[in-house]
Amino acid sequence: MTAVPFDDWVRQVQSGMEDVLATLLPPAAAAPARLHEAMRYAVLDGGKRVRPLLVHAAGELHDADRNTLARAAAAVEMIHAYSLVHDDMPCMDDDALRRGKPTVHVKYDEATALLVGDALQAQAFLALAEAGGDPSRTLRMLRLLAQASGSAGMCGGQAIDLASVGTTLSLSELEQMHRLKTGALLRASVMLGALCGQVPDAAESAALDAYAAAVGLAFQVVDDVLDATADSQTLGKTAGKDAVDNKPTYVSILGLEESRALAQKLREDAHRALLPFGDKARRLRELADLIVQRKA
């Protein structure tokens, strides 16, 4: 077991991820240069890398192969980055600020943003398909990522999100939306990381799934709390947008204090789910804390 303090481990994963992403993305000088430059702009130098952190933390359960972990993490992060680029476009959330920088369609143009997202999605599947190692396992990971990204996962959640603007959602409808929109990819991150080590048995899968579900939901609850309480400078994206857009959130349904209490409860759920793994789940436990306690 590693004895590196959590903060150092986080920085190591983040900085390693930056190198891997920089290598796996096409060089900015290669034609078509503007597209490649914009793809790199969308992915590199920004973000908390929560999904890669989850992949790596789950990889510690069974001493996963480092190269496979890095590629799985990069693939998930590229999917996440493409979704942000498309999500920020005028026909979706119409946002000008992301990770403290102008969004891709503002910095470049809308058509480029559309292509950047499309090309990043293909690049994500390519990065994973080239992971090497056991082909059956790689295929299983590809299926997992495709399911989590598509209409039964992230894209489906965004469609529900779109349809929900200006409407009143029940708590369970809100939960279902987030379970797909952000939860599916967060859960896939945990499962991909575990698969990089060895295929989890049914009990392990269920435990990891319970952990990932709790963390995924906690992530969103905290997001809603931060949107309502933090400023744009701190968040690196436009704050207070949910209320302006009349979007249903945990804060709008539960209020601020109850939302905070829910996040804490979900953190405890996440910890409890990890009990069977003992000390090997240390990074996953620490990540649950980070996700709930983060300030941005």
Q: Does 29 bind a second copy (CB under 8 A)?
A: no
Which residues ranging from 71 to 100 are in contact with a second copy (CB under 8 A)?
82-83, 86, 89, 91-92
32 near a second copy, rule: CB under 8 A: yes
Q: Is 122 in the site for a second copy (CB under 8 A)?
A: yes
Q: Residue 97, Cα to own-chain centre: how many angstroms?
A: 18
| Separation CA 251–CA 171 (nearest Å) | 11
Does 117 interact with a second copy (rule: CB under 8 A)? yes
Closest distance to a second copy from the beta carbon of 124 (Å): 9
Residue 40 sits in the site that holds a second copy (CB under 8 A): no
Stretch that binds a second copy, among 130-138, 246-254, 257-265, 287-295 (CB under 8 A): 130-138
Q: Which three-class secondary structure string do you get for 87-153?
A: HCCCCCCCCCEECCEECHHHHCCHHHHHHHHHHHHHHHHHHHHCCCCCHHHHHHHHHHHHHHHCCCC
Residue nearer to a second copy on the CB measure, 136 or 172: 136
- 269 touches a second copy (CB under 8 A): no
Enumerate helices (H) and strands (E) in the chain, giving the number of each: 16, 2
CB-based contacts of 286, cutoff 8 Å, min separation 6: 6, 9, 57
| Burial readout 237-270 (b: 16 or more C-beta within 10 A, e: otherwise) | bbbebbeeeebbbbbbbbeeeebbebbeebbebb
Q: Should residue 114 be labelled a site residue for a second copy when binding is judged by CB under 8 A?
A: yes
Closest by CA position to 154, among listed 187, 190, 124: 187
Q: What is the dihedral of CA 17, 131, 57, 227, to 10 degrees?
A: 60
As a whole number of angstroms, the distance between CA 259 and CA 266 comes to 11
To a second copy, the closest distance from the beta carbon of 7 in angstroms equals: 35
Distance between CA atoms of residues 154 and 184, nearest Å: 6
Among 1, 3, 29, 136, indicate the residue that binds a second copy (CB under 8 A).
136
Q: Does 150 sit near a second copy (CB under 8 A)?
A: yes
- Report helix, strand and coil shares of the chain as percent, to nearest 5: 75, 0, 25
Count of residues binding a second copy (CB under 8 A)? 49
In angstroms, what is the minimal distance from the CB of 159 to a second copy? 4
Per CB under 8 A, 112 contacts a second copy: yes
Residue 294 engages a second copy in binding (rule: CB under 8 A):
no
Q: Which of 21, 39, 191, 212 binds a second copy (CB under 8 A)?
A: 39
Between 132 and 276, CB nearer to a second copy: 132
Q: Should residue 158 be labelled a site residue for a second copy when binding is judged by CB under 8 A?
A: yes
Q: Beta partners for 118?
A: none
C-alpha span between 30 and 194 (Å, rounded)? 35
Give the residue, chosen from 14, 22, 26, 102, that forms a contact with a second copy under the rule CB under 8 A.
Answer: 26
Q: Which of 10, 20, 21, 35 binds a second copy (CB under 8 A)?
A: 35
Interface residue with a second copy, options 34, 101, 271, 280 (CB under 8 A): 34
Residues near a second copy (CB under 8 A) are 26, 31-32, 34-36, 39, 82-83, 86, 89, 91-92, 109-112, 114-115, 117-119, 121-123, 125-126, 129-130, 135-136, 138-139, 142-143, 146-147, 149-153, 155-156, 158-160, 162-163
